Amino acid sequence: MTIKIIAVMFIGLASGLAVGAGFVAFLTVLGIIPRLTQLTKTMKMIHYYEWSVVLGVFAGSAATLWEFNFQFPSWFLIPLGASSGVFVGMLAAALTEVLNVLPILAKRIGIDGQIVILLMALVFGKIAGSLYQWMYFVGK
């Protein structure tokens, strides 16, 4: 029995280290934090950005390991959801920026000089999909 417990602890630690290293490598390759500080012109605050990522990873890990039950008022959930959406959107935007997906797609479908139209189509599609999910699948 003790060997099984030690094996599970070792596998859990090794898996966590592998996933954590992959996440850090992903953020490093994309260059999200330096790019974000460039765009917001807050280069001197880069350590705060880095620590917010570290603390976010710790908070996410703690939330995964222990089941927390918070009773937040509904008005607090709006900025929380918006922040989550901004994070996912920025991560997706950083990935597409690194891979140069949008210019290649625009060239392939024949709208080279009108990437703004492609971006707006993606944004409105995401909004429509999110609204559809919330109206039809959440709470049922």
Return the structure tokens found at 126: 């995401």
Return the pLDDT at 108: 79
pTM over 0.75: no
- CA distances, 56 to each of 29, 48, 68, 83, 117 (Å): 19, 12, 15, 12, 34
* Selected residue with higher pLDDT from 134 and 96: 134
Return the pLDDT at 139: 66
pLDDT tens digits, 7-21: 888 888 888 777 777
Max avg pLDDT among 67-71, 97-101, 111-115, 120-124: 120-124
